[in-house]
Amino acid sequence: MDKMQLVSATKKLKHYVMEMDHIYEHARETGEEKDFYTVIKPFVDEVHFVLEEWGELAKKFIVTSHPKHLYIQQIDATIENIKEISVQAFFPKTSYSRFKHRLHSIHYILEKLHSEINESKFPQNF
């Protein structure tokens, strides 16, 4: 069950990260900032809810399965990066290179984790 939850949460985060990229590109094109309380906060809260579950499951997976080249520190950094870009995506003045670098780092860790889960020989409950 944990393995399926982790896969599901990872897929949701991938979707949110893609959405953040689209939001950012739109904000840069239009130069328009969204209202914090009606648009930004609800989106960020939704992402943080999934992120909290994902973080716990991902760390548990790493501790129990010991994947190569994937560490708890990377999960922590990914959590922080997602928290930051979930807000920054709405602001057109956010540094393009910094935003894209964080996006790339997040995408790498999510893909790496997803492939490690698929290659894992551990049972559904880890």
Model pLDDT, residue 120? 76
Percent of the chain with pLDDT over 70: 94
Give the whole-angstrom CA distance, residue 3 versus residue 41.
30
Q: Hey, where are the domains in the chain?
A: 2-119
Fold of 2-119: Four Helix Bundle (Hemerythrin (Met), subunit A) (1.20.120)
**Rounded CA separation 72/14 (Å):** 19
Verdict on whether the full-model pTM lies above 0.85: yes
Predicted local distance difference test score (pLDDT) of residue 119 = 85
Q: How far apart are CA 88 and CA 73, in angstroms?
A: 22
Residue 121 binned pLDDT confidence (cut-offs 50, 70, 90): low
Q: What is the DSSP string of 56-87?
A: HHHHHHHHHH--TT--HHHHHHHHHHHHHHHH
How many CB atoms within 10 Å of residue 6?
A: 22
